Amino acid sequence: MEQTIPHISNLQLLGALGFVALGGAASLYHGLRLERDLLWGSARTFVQLFVMGYVLTVIFGLRHPAPVLAFFLLMIGAAAWIIRNRVSERAVSFFAPTLASMVVSYLVITFVVTAFVVGVQPWWTPRFLLPLGGMVIGNSMNAVAIALERLFGELRSRRAQVEMMLSLGADYREASADMVRVAVKAGMIPSINAMMGVGIVFIPGMMTGQILAGADPLVAIRYQIVVMLMLVGSTTLGTLLVVWLVRKRCFGTKDELLL
């Protein structure tokens, strides 16, 4: 007998704040000073997700690609802005190349998945494009932030090596090749680790959601495999593009290191 999803009342939803209260109590006891972040993060979670729910209800009814793609680009822009605030580097302007690389890589990956792998017609159908694209953005956003932090850190910590290679006639690409490899690898490792543990260590979010919604677990598994492979592609393409574009901005017109 198929079981329906239990309804979560407002009171039950508020009761889940007990988990946040537990984190706040631990923060107070150990002097972590995270109470404000926990409170603010909880408030944003409620507001942002409820707003997203109402917005998606409207967007799912649209029959034209322009507003759907505009909303998808807005999601990418918000992710790029979050990365800008999370990455501590201020000597190099990296927001524009980060946004450009994210737009290109996420649109390409999401288009391939919806149009060819899943076979949605039309490919921009919001019920498929936005959830799948959102997973691409959310997971790849962390990879891009990690890659940028590692790139800037490696260039700074190995400045003497870079400058020595530049003085010996190498261009900025040759002088920073090792740093690029380290940065891209750092961005890709989380998605690779996720593939190693999926199905054994944890049941991923999309598969869990489909099972809770009553889908056949074997169907949910196929979608989750697509998602895991999609995330590897998006983190790879996203980190490669952003590191290549931002790396150039770390050097001046005469290939001098600006960091």
Query: In the chain, where are the structural domains located?
Result: 1-59, 65-249
Of the two residues 38 and 259, the one the predictor is more confident about is 38
Distance CA 100, CA 97 (A): 5
Mean pLDDT of all residues in 29-45: 90
Using DSSP, state whether 251 is helix, strand or coil: strand
Structural contact between residues 139 and 234, judged by C-beta atoms closer than 8 angstroms: yes
The amino acid present at 36, given as its one-letter code, is R
The per-residue pLDDT for 201 is 66
The per-residue pLDDT for 25 is 92
Cβ within 8 Å of residue 123, ≥6 positions away: 111, 114, 115, 129
Residue 198: strand pairing partners? 202
pLDDT exceeds 80 at position 196: yes
The per-residue pLDDT for 186 is 93
The per-residue pLDDT for 203 is 67
Of the two residues 183 and 211, the one the predictor is more confident about is 183
